[in-house]
Chains A and B, each alone.
Chain A
Amino acid sequence: MSAIRVRNLSKSFKRPIRTSGLRGAIQDLLHRRYEEKKAVDDLSFDIPQGEIVGYLGPNGAGKSTSIKMLVGILVPTSGDVTINGLVPYRNRAATARGIGVVFGQRSQLWWDIPVSETFQLMKYMYKIPDNRYKRNIELFADVLGIQEFMHVAVRQLSLGQRMRADLCAALLHNPSIVFLDEPTIGLDVVVKKKIREFLLEVNAEYKTTILLTTHDMQDVEKLCSRIILINNGTKAFDGPLERMKTEFGAGETLSVQVEGAVENWDGLRLLGVGDYRYDPESSTLTVRYDKRESNPAQLLSWIMGRASVVDFTVKPPEVEDIIRAMYTNPARPVLQEVL
């Protein structure tokens, strides 16, 4: 049995169409027209127990809406979801016992009380046996470094501390599936690293299934063996990370700040560069290239031969870049079904 099974899942929202101006407002008041917006459209996939899946897509693609259906917050317009064999919105309580949920933007900790008391409440709410609770707290507090702020009220925590506490609280009852919506948003490198180590450890120790959304390519590379890419509410890609990268994600960006007026960079084309831009104002040259066709060192040395370089950076592809590449390059296959 799959841990998560999704079949032809759709969700549409009804939104009133607003006409502008006073006349429009009165018109709308008397006769309101609605438009139906499909946030999720005929989505299907299976996730077996123990897999870590990156659930990616641009903002507004329907990631959060579909996750909210998976955990039982939203009721689907049509289609089926089963989580550990249960229909989440029909068996909220039973589903909740087997899952952990963390939404990066929204804490579920209790504002006024210390972290430790929230953990205690979780213990009673999920009926966690004493010995398991103790072992989990020890393991989690150690990996996440929670001990130092265990007795501080939640409102006094920094964002990184709060996020770590949130993660710990969501995993105390050993859920077999964990849903993470942008767990590393707004965190510094050190905390991000801690959180990734933690997730890997939990996955190894308890065979926990993890579904996470993120905009951070590092998260994806360090954690996910499989990627599901969502766009316009439908699945755009489903497969291993490596395949996504070779198919769509080999683009890098090189930014070079140069001195001296050079206007003609056309020679870059000969080195296999598809897209470049020179901004005379900041005298910065931005070069986008495909790693399989161009070598950044070669590009840089060519540029250095023509102008004196003040500074340069190489930026690996962001998830957004990969998605953009998929949709702006029609030569490549867009839809890949593996089911």
Chain B
Amino acid sequence: MHTVKLYGRFLIVYMRSQLEYRFSFFGDVFVNMLTFVSLYLGFWVLFQTFPSMDGWGFWEVLFLNNLNLMTYATCSMFLWGPMIQLENTVRTGEFDNFLVRPYPPLLILVFRQFGHTFIGHLIVSSCVLALCTYQLSIQWTVGNALFLLFCLIGGILIQGAIMIAAASSAFWVIRSKAVLEMSIYTVRSFINYPISIYVQSIQLLLTFLIPYAIVNYYPASLFFGKEERSALFYFFPVISVAVGALLFLLACKIFSRGVARYDSSGS
């Protein structure tokens, strides 16, 4: 509880320092909104030529994408900044500061900054979810709502775990930023489309090795009944959260392993 309160304090201080440059603050949010609106417009253009992608219509693919964006943005608000900078923090020895605090270093890293730009992502993805609801006439029954909620939580954990694990490579290799960027941009871009369009090896990779498919493909296909709505529909959200939690713990473990290897820098 104290930790949550402490985070609140950090957040207030961070926001106050950011709002000093008010134009830049809202500018950041707005630019990010534009980026994703244009990405989705691109999909729309694409779907004017191919009305269906392996059985998925435009709004369904948009919903699929949106699961990715929502979970990515939520975990990025906390993790993207500190993880993308970890390479630098470790290389310069600035990481020293995080090891002499009465909280775990990962927590202090997260506390020190907040990705306000991802508020833009969240605004866009909320609007798109509302649009999809309308276009696909999704009924938000208790079952549907809980399904989505749990899958979102699982997705956030998986995205976060991949981010932390990839960034932790900073303790082993020098160019960890490249590893992280490859994981969260290149590999993640595969799940912009239903993974059933790829060869089997890529499907397996995205299911078991870097399980991005659990973030959006499986929940979306269950949600739209691409497969028969069976017991799996009720069971999957639990799997998603469990896999997410497990991976997240594993990622934290990798991070701690890395910390034990940390060499600091001269001086």
* A interface residues, Cβ below 8 angstroms from B: 13, 64-65, 68, 71-75, 89, 92-94, 96-97, 99, 101, 103, 105-106, 108, 110, 112-113, 117, 120-121, 124-127
Known: A106-B96, A117-B16. 12 other contacts (CB 8 A): A65-B264, A68-B264, A71-B99, A73-B262, A74-B262, A74-B263, A93-B101, A96-B101, A103-B267, A121-B10, A125-B6, A125-B103
- Complex A-B, nearest 6 residue pairs according to Cβ-Cβ distance, in ascending order: A112-B17, A96-B102, A101-B100, A108-B97, A73-B99, A97-B102
**B264 with A105: CB separation less than 8 A:** no
Query: With A64-B267, A68-B264, A113-B17 as given contacts, are A93 and B97 in contact (CB-CB < 8 Å)?
Result: no
| One of B16, B102, B267 near A126 (C-beta < 8 A) | B102
> Which residue in chain A gives the minimum CB-CB distance to B103?
A93
Q: Which of B215-267 contact A (CB under 8 A)?
A: 260-264, 266-267
**In the assembly, what is the distance between CA of A13 and CA of B99, in Å?**
19
Q: Can you list 5 contacts pairing A with B, beta carbon distance less than 8 Å?
A: A93-B104, A96-B100, A97-B102, A103-B267, A120-B9
| Given known A-B contacts A99-B100, A125-B6, A113 and B13 have beta carbons under 8 A apart | yes
In the complex, chain B residues 4-48 whose Cβ is within 8 Å of any chain A Cβ: 5-6, 9-10, 13, 16-17, 20
CB distance B13 to A117 under 8 Å?
Answer: yes
Of A97, A99, A106, A127, which is within 8 A of B97 by CB? A106
Distance, CA A124 to CA B9, complexed state (A): 8
A112: nearest chain-B partner, CB-CB: B17
Residues of A within 8 A of B102 (CB): 93-94, 96-97, 125-126
The answer on a CB contact under 8 Å between A89 and B262 is no
CB nearest neighbor in B for A75: B260
- Neighbouring A residues of B262 by C-beta, 8 Å: 73-74
A110 to B9, CA, bound (A): 14
Q: State whether A103 touches B96 (Cβ < 8 A).
A: yes
Q: How far is B101's CA from A96's CA once the two chains are assembled, in angstroms?
A: 5
- Among B6, B9, B96, contact of A68 (Cβ-Cβ < 8 Å): B96
- For B5, list chain A residues within 8 Å (CB): 124
**How many of chain B's residues have a CB under 8 angstroms from any CB in A?**
28
Q: B99 touches which one: A65, A92, A105 (CB < 8 A)? A: A92
- Contacting pair B13 A121 (CB below 8 A): yes
CB distance from B74 to the nearest CB of A (A): 25
- A67 to chain B: closest CB distance in Å? 10
Q: How far is the CB of B112 from chain A (nearest CB, A)?
A: 8
Residues of B within 8 A of A (CB): 2, 5-6, 9-10, 13, 16-17, 20, 93-94, 96-97, 99-105, 112, 260-264, 266-267
| Cα of A126 to Cα of B6 in the assembled complex, Å | 10
Q: How far is the CA of A105 from the CA of B102 in the complex (A)?
A: 22
Contacts of A13 in B (CB 8 A): 263
Q: How far is the CA of A10 from the CA of B262 in the complex (A)?
A: 16
Among A13, A73, A94, A108, chain B packs the most CB atoms within 10 A around the CB of A73
Question: Is A105's CB under 8 angstroms from B17's CB?
Answer: no
Known: A68-B264, A73-B264. A121 touches B9 (CB 8 A): yes
Contacts of A105 in B (CB 8 A): 267
Cα separation A304 to B58 with both chains bound (whole Å) = 98
Shortest C-beta distance, B183 to chain A (Å), equals: 25
In the bound complex, CA of A110 to CA of B267 (Å)? 21
CA distance A73 to B96 in the complex (A): 6
* Chain B residues with CB under 8 A of A65: 264
* Closest Cβ neighbor of B17 among chain A residues: A112
List of A residues within 8 angstroms of B94 by Cβ? 106
For B93, list chain A residues within 8 Å (CB). Answer: 106
A72 to B267, CA, bound (A): 16
- Of chain B, the residue at the smallest CB distance from A97 is B102
Write the chain B residue with the least CB distance to A69. Answer: B264
A103 to B10, CA, bound (A): 23
Q: Is B9's CB under 8 angstroms from A89's CB?
A: no
A73 CA to B5 CA, complexed, in Å = 26
Nearest-Cβ distance from residue A13 to partner chain B, whole angstroms: 6
Instruction: Establish whether residues A71 and B100, one from each chain, have CB atoms under 8 Å apart when the complex forms.
Output: yes
Q: How far is the CA of A117 from the CA of B15 in the complex (A)?
A: 13
CB of A110 to closest CB in B, whole Å: 8
Do residues A72 and B6 form an inter-chain contact, with CB atoms below 8 A?
Answer: no
With both beta carbons as reference points, the residue of chain A lying nearest to B261 in the complex is identified as A75
Q: Which of A89, A97, A103, A127 contacts B260 (CB 8 A)?
A: A89
Counting chain A CB atoms within 10 Å of each CB, which of B16, B102, B103, B260 scores highest? Answer: B102
A96 vs B100: C-alpha distance when bound (angstroms):
5
A187 to chain B, nearest CB (A): 17
Closest residue on chain B to residue A60 by CB atoms: B266
Chain B residues with CB below 8 A from A101, complex form: 100
Q: Contact at B99–A72, with CB atoms within 8 Å?
A: yes
A64 CA / B267 CA spacing, docked (Å) = 6
- A336 vs chain B, min Cβ distance (A): 28
Query: What's the minimum C-beta distance from B159 to chain A, rounded to whole angstroms?
Result: 27
Docked Cα-Cα span, A101 to B104, in Å, equals: 16
Closest A residue, CB atoms, query B108? A125
Shortest C-beta distance, B22 to chain A (Å), equals 14
How far is it, in angstroms, between the C-alpha of A121 and the C-alpha of B5 when the chains are bound?
11
Q: How many Å from the CB of B98 to the closest CB on chain A?
A: 9
Give Cα A322 to B242, complex, Å: 63
Nearest residue in A to B99 (C-beta to C-beta)? A73
> Smallest distance from the beta carbon of A220 to chain B beta carbons, Å?
20
Task: Tell me, in angstroms, the Cα distance from A120 to B9 when the chains sit together.
Answer: 9
